[in-house]
């Protein structure tokens, strides 16, 4: 079956494209899809280990089964912090 893959900007830099269409087995899971992506794009291995998989706008486990023509988005978590910076707001 065919599934659509959408990659966040950090992942798309590695593949050169933000959207892919891949053929996967009928009973494929998100983990199977990740394995296939890493096989085609070895540079994704480290980052996909931290990526959040989303189906229909919902975070899903790697054990989630895929459906034909479904779009799977992989988003990298964003970390933040103030790095010791201080801000002053005047009112």
Query: Is residue 91 domain-resident?
Result: no
Query: Is residue 81 domain-resident?
Result: no
Angle (CA) 17-18-20 rounded to 5° is: 80
- Strands annotated E in the chain: 2-7, 19-23, 52-55, 58-59, 71-75
Residue with tokens 């989630």: 64
CATH, residue 33: 3.10.20.30
Burial bucket for residue 32 (CB in 10 Å: 0-12, 13-18, 19+):
middle
pLDDT in tens, the chain (91 residues): 999 999 999 999 999 999 999 999 999 999 999 999 999 999 999 999 889 999 988 999 999 999 999 999 999 887 655 555 555 555 5
In the DSSP assignment, the letter for residue 13 is H
Structural domain that includes position 56:
2-75
């Amino acid at each position: 079956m065919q599934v659509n893959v959408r990659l966040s900007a950090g992942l798309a830099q590695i593949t050169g494209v933000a959207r892919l269409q891949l053929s996967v087995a009928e009973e494929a899971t998100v983990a199977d899809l990740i394995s296939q992506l890493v096989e085609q794009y070895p540079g994704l291995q480290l980052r996909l280990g931290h990526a959040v998989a989303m189906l229909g706008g919902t975070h899903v486990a790697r054990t989630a089964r895929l459906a034909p023509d479904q779009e799977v988005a992989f988003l990298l978590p964003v970390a933040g912090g103030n790095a010791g910076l201080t801000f002053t707001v005047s009112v």
